[in-house]
Every structure is written in structure tokens, then in C-alpha cells.
């Protein structure tokens, strides 16, 4: 809970280095934030508590042996907290509403302009505030945002939703504190945008390898900002969205400061800020997104479906494998009948074999039958027991040839903590018995997923790995001419999670100039063109096959060539702005003393 006063010389004067802003005492919400309510013992120029005249009591009362004047008493804790709650109530409510609006910017709602509104709202609500007040505002915006965004985790349990949301909201708390601290610097919208990138940089990596869900870029996979991904990846898209939102906040703050006494001349900074926000928003439309192909390949994506959604999607053993094998054999029959063209390769999703084919002969034989029926290589998703560590498994994509059988494979590099492995298993399992439903830990792979599947050199990325910049970037850098996302979203069917993951595939297509094929056990299986357009799609919980010709491209984008450099540079600039604000603030306090 924030505490303390945010009154400064600049805030009281209502001006900042870059133009007028709302005074800290009366922000756009109309609530006062400069001084706490006077308590019952606070001097106010009237009769003092000791019966003297005024704040100091009676001098001659002390001189004649009477009681000395009592020092002013601080209000009780409860009264101070009540006063704080009254001061922060409106601002807190506005932050909560802004967090809900930000959640609606993401799939399955896809109201991307709300991402600009949320950034602008957080900028205004932290403008001219203390660091602690900014931290509180960031947290109460972040918590409802992540609860709505990650509600698909309720399949595991609402405690998982709340726990992960609180953890992610702590990063938003740090962002709110940083925005408050830098809000009095010149060019503060620029530092705001850099700090959004810095927040996402940290959240993408910490803890346990990070959790990138909720990046501003992932809400803008079908907006004018999207082509910027080809220049600087997801971080550049986030930067542009945050910059446009902060400029809109600057426009609103300037206009608020002119209320009742404005003129056209004094409104010029607001007009300039709005113009810059508009320019940043449409800048992506000028970025070319090359799509011409060096070659092409005919593919078929098999979505075999599952018995039921949820934690128990596997059903009886061999059921999911049989679903995918049967769908592939139906495709083979259609090819023989001349109803469809024979593909060059077939793609099955993650966990399409629910048994280890190298351990269970019936699973091996069922896969082999289906692959021989279609007569082309099939990329099969399977869990394979670790050969050296008992109790560990590999989550793999295996190239299965109709003549030679299983060959090259890719092992998922980034298993999901608490979902595919349990950190501190021995200790946590005693407290949270639900972790017993993750009986085996997934072992990470140690190389990228570039595989020769028939005539195509494909980059395999498994499930949540599509959210991590470096994994996809390294895969393209290793020579992938198209990308495949093998995924199993049956646990989270009809919750919005498959739509959120498909949006990430759309951004990766533009970022790397590659076709992206998403193969899911229960949906959404789709084909995304290099310009981010979804060209083919199978609905959730429907057995089906998508046949498509996808381009194979060798040309790399500027984002491929610069890698993580823009993200690091923008994040460092954001952190330096915090350091500058701290130094300037200390110098100002020293000067005042």
C-alpha cells in the first residue's frame, strides 16, 4: 500500500520540463494526493488540545507551574490508513479498470487499441507520484490484467491463476514505480516506452526461464504495429505501442493542465504529442514484409482430436495415437482416390503418440502403419523415456520415414516449470499434493529443431517455446526455411489459450519472414503465411486435415540479423532513465535542505 506525500516544487506549480501537467494535489481523477488528512491532534491554528491559544499552547501556563504544551500527536494508524485509502480509492479503481482493458486487447477478444489506452492510463496514474504510490498503481493494474489473461489456467486450479498472476503483477509493480520515478524527466514518454521493454525483458527470463505471456507485442499481431516485428522483433513492437500510448498520455496531461485557461498556443505541445502518437502508430505500415518464396512444399497437418478437454485429455492409452493414425490413413485413401493431392510431408502435433514408441511395440507399429500408408515422411510428436535418467522423459518431434522408420529428432529445450517439471519437487510435493499429477520431469534438449522432413528444411518449435524470442530466432538462424509449432492445447481447450498461442505464431511469421504451421492435437491447427495472415485453420475439437502449399524462404529479416540487440539497448536505456531520476531527485532534495 503506498504512503507518504508526492508534493514537489514541480508538482505544486503544475509544470514539468516538457510542458504543463496536472498538479500532484489534484490529478485527472480529482482526488487530492498532496497532504494527509489532519488528525485530531494536528495543529490547525485553532484551540490546541492542551487548552492553550493556538498551536504552541500558553507560554505563561508553563511559566506558572501549569502543564507544559504537548507536542502535536500523529494520527492513529487506523486513521492514517483510512485517509490513505480515501486518497487512493479513485486512482486504484481506475488502475483496475485499465488492467481489465489491457486484458481485452489480447486474444480471444483482440481489441488491440485498448493496449494503447492501458499504457496511457498507467502513465497518467503514475505521473508525478512517489515511487511507492507508482508501485501500488502498477500492481493493482497488473493483477486483474493477468487474472483475465491467464484464466485458462483455472483448468489446473484457480489458485494457479492467482498465484501466477500475483507473481507476474510484481513486475508491473516495479514498472509502476519506475514510471513514477521518471515521470518528471524531460522526454518522459520515451523513457516510459523503454521501461515497458525492460519490464518484459525481465519477465521473459525470470524466474525459472521466465513467462512471456502478456507482452504488448502479442496483443498487436494484427494491428498497424505488427510489421515492425520484421525490423526489431517483438521488443520493437512493444516499444512502439508503449511509446504511442505514453504520447497520448502526454497529450491528455497537457490538455488537463490547460483546463479553464487554455489557448491555442499553449495547446501546441498537446497537438504535437498526439501527432507523434499517430505517426508511431502508422509507421509500421511503411515497413515492407517480403513474402516471395525461393521454393515451396505441399504439406498436410493432421489434427486427430482427443476424447475430452482438461487435465485428463489423454483418456485410455493409444486413443490419441489411433486418432492421428486413422486421420492419416483417411488422407492416404483420399490421395489414392484422386480426391486430394499427395503431400510432400505430413505434420502431427505434440503428444500425438501418447505412448513412447521405442518402449511400446504397439505404438511403434501403429505409427509405422500410418506413415507407410501415406508414403511420405511424417513429423511425429511423442514423449520418449530418458535413456540415462530414470523418471525423466523427452518431449520430442521425430521424423518418421516410410522406408527407414524413425530418424532425426528435436527435443523441447524449454520445458514449462510446474507443468512439465517441478522445481524443488521433494520439498514442494509435500505441501502441494497436486504436483503428484506431474509424475515425471521433462528433460530439456540441447540443440535447435532444424529437421529435414522430406524435401523441406523445417524448424520445429514445441508448444510454449513459440513465446520465447531466442528459441525461434536461433531456429531460423540455424537454417529453418519454415517453422512448425507442434502443440498440445487439449488441456486448455475453449479457454482462449489456443487463440493466444496462435497470435504468437502470427507475430513470428512476420518477424522472421517464414510460414508458420501450427499442429495441435485438438486445435487450433493453422497455416500462417509470412505476412502473418492465417490461410488455413481447423476449429477446436474437430478431427481434420489441412492441406496447403507453404513457401520456403532463405532470406532473413532485419530482426533476424540484429537478434536481441534492440531489446537489450532499449531495456538498458530504461534502466538508465531510472538512475538519472534518482540522481536528480537526490540533488533536488539536497538543494532544498
Cis bond upstream, residue 455 (ω within 30): no
The DSSP call for residue 215 is -
Residue with cell 504439406: 299
Q: Provide the angle, in degrees to the nearest 10, between the axes of the packed helices 188-203 and 113-126.
A: 110
Going by C-alpha positions, the residue among 591, 589, 395 that lies closest to residue 486 is: 395
User: Is there a catalytic annotation at residue 463?
Assistant: yes
Cell of 393: 522423459
Is 430 considered catalytic here? no
Reference 446, options 396, 406, 485; nearest CA is: 396
Write the CA distances from 416 to 412, 423, 426, 469, integer angstroms: 10, 10, 18, 16
> Cell digits for 56?
504552541
Tell me: cis bond preceding 207? Omega within 30 of 0 counts.
Answer: yes
The answer to whether the beta carbons of residues 484 and 458 sit under 8 Å apart is yes
Given the residues 350, 465, 499, 511, select the one marked as catalytic. Answer: 350
- Enumerate residues 6+ apart whose C-beta is below 8 A from 455: 297, 344, 345
Residue 248 in grid coordinates = 497520448
- Note the Cα 422 to chain centre separation in Å: 22
Q: How far apart are the C-alpha atoms of 360 and 355, rounded to whole Å? A: 7
3 state SS for 363-408: HHHHHHHHHHHHCCCEEEEEEEECCCCCCEEEEEEEEEECCCEEEE
Q: What angle do CA 381, 386, 390 make, to 5 degrees?
A: 140
**Which grid coordinates belong to 245?**
500510448
Catalytic choice (88, 200, 251, 412) = 412
What own/partner pairs with CB < 8 Å and gap ≥ 24 does 429-438 have?
A: 434/156, 434/157, 437/311
Marked catalytic residue, from 194, 251, 463, 578: 463
Residue 527 φ then ψ, to 5° = -120, 125
Omega prior to 444 cis, within 30 of 0: no
Q: Say which residues have a Cβ less than 8 Å from residue 258's Cβ, sequence separation at least 6.
A: 20, 266, 267, 270
Active site residue 10: no
Asked if 91 and 192 touch (Cβ cutoff 8 Å), the reply is: no
Q: What are 311's three cell numbers?
A: 487435465
- Using alpha carbons, list the distances in angstroms from residue 341 to 335, 517, 553: 6, 19, 23
Find cell 493477468 and name the residue.
146
Q: CA gyration radius for the chain?
A: 29
DSSP assignment of 254-283 equals HHHHTTTS--TTTTHHHHHHHHHHHHHHHH
Q: Which residues are catalytic?
A: 350, 412, 463
Amino acid at each position: 500500500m503506498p504512503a507518504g506525500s508526492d508534493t514537489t516544487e514541480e508538482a505544486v506549480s503544475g509544470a514539468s520540463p516538457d510542458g504543463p501537467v496536472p498538479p500532484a494535489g489534484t490529478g485527472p481523477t480529482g482526488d487530492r494526493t498532496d497532504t494527509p488528512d489532519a488528525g485530531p491532534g494536528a495543529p490547525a491554528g485553532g484551540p490546541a488540545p492542551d487548552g492553550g491559544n493556538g498551536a504552541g499552547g500558553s507560554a505563561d501556563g508553563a511559566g506558572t507551574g501549569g502543564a507544559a504544551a504537548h507536542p502535536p500527536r500523529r494520527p492513529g494508524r487506523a486513521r492514517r490508513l483510512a485517509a490513505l485509502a480515501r486518497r487512493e480509492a479513485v486512482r486504484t479503481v481506475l488502475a483496475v479498470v485499465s488492467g481489465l482493458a489491457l486484458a481485452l486487447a489480447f486474444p480471444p477478444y483482440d481489441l488491440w487499441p485498448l493496449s494503447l489506452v492501458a499504457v496511457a492510463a498507467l502513465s497518467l496514474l503514475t505521473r508525478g507520484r512517489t515511487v511507492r504510490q507508482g508501485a501500488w498503481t502498477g500492481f493493482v493494474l497488473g493483477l486483474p490484467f493477468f487474472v483475465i489473461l491467464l484464466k485458462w489456467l483455472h483448468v489446473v486450479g484457480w489458485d494457479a491463476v492467482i498465484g501466477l498472476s500475483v507473481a507476474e503483477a510484481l513486475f508491473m509493480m516495479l514498472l509502476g514505480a519506475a514510471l513514477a520515478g521518471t515521470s518528471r524527466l524531460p522526454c518522459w514518454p520515451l523513457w516510459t516506452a523503454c521501461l515497458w521493454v525492460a519490464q518484459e525483458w525481465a519477465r521473459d527470463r525470470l524466474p525459472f526461464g521466465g513467462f512471456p505471456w502478456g507482452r504488448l507485442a502479442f496483443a498487436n499481431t494484427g494491428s498497424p504495429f505488427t510489421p515492425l516485428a520484421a525490423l526489431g522483433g517483438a521488443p520493437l513492437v512493444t516499444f512502439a505501442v508503449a511509446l504511442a500510448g505514453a504520447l497520448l498520455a502526454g497529450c491528455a496531461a497537457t490538455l488537463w493542465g490547460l483546463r479553464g485557461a487554455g489557448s491555442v498556443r499553449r495547446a501546441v505541445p498537446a497537438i504535437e504529442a498526439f501527432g507523434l502518437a499517430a505517426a508511431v502508430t502508422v509507421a509500421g505500415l511503411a515497413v515492407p514484409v517480403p513474402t516471395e518464396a525461393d521454393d515451396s512444399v505441399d504439406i498436410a497437418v493432421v489434427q486427430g482430436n482427443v476424447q475430452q478437454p482438461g487435465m485428463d485429455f489423454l483418456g485410455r492409452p493409444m486413443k490419441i495415437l489411433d486418432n492421428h493414425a486413422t486421420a492419416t490413413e483417411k488422407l492416404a485413401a483420399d490421395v489414392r482416390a484422386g480426391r486430394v493431392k499427395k503431400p510432400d510431408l505430413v505434420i502431427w502435433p505434440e503428444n500425438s503418440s501418447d505412448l513412447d514408441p521405442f518402449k511400446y511395440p504397439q505404438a511403434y507399429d501403429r505409427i509405422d502403419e500410418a506413415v507407410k500408408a501415406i508414403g511420405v515422411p511424417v513429423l511425429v510428436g511423442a514423449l520418449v523415456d530418458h535413456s540415462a535418467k530414470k523418471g525423466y522423459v523427452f518431449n520430442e518431434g521425430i521424423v518418421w520415414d516410410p522406408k527407414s522408420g524413425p530418424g532425426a529428432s528435436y527435443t523441447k529445450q524449454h520445458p514449462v516449470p510446474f507443468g512439465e517439471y517441478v522445481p524443488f519437487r521433494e520439498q514442494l510435493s509435500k505441501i502441494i499434493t497436486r504436483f503428484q499429477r506431474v509424475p515425471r520431469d521433462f528433460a530439456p534438449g540441447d540443440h535447435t529443431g532444424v529437421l529435414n522432413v522430406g524435401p523441406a528444411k523445417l524448424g520445429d518449435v514445441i508448444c510454449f517455446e513459440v513465446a520465447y524470442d531466442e528459441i525461434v530466432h536461433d531456429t531460423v538462424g540455424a537454417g529453418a526455411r519454415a517453422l512448425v509449432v507442434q502443440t498440445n492445447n487439449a488441456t486448455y481447450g475453449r479457454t482462449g489459450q489456443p487463440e493466444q498461442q496462435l497470435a504468437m505464431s502470427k507475430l513470428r511469421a512476420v518477424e522472421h519472414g517464414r510460414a508458420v504451421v501450427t499442429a495441435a492435437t485438438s486445435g487450433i491447427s493453422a497455416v500462417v503465411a509470412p505476412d502473418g495472415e492465417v490461410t488455413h485453420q481447423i476449429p477446436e475439437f474437430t478431427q481434420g486435415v489441412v492441406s496447403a502449399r507453404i513457401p520456403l524462404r532463405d532470406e532473413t529479416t532485419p530482426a533476424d540479423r540484429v537478434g536481441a540487440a534492440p531489446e537489450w539497448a532499449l531495456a538498458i536505456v530504461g534502466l538508465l532513465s531510472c538512475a538519472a531520476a534518482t540522481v536528480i531527485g537526490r540533488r533536488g532534495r539536497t538543494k532544498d535542505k
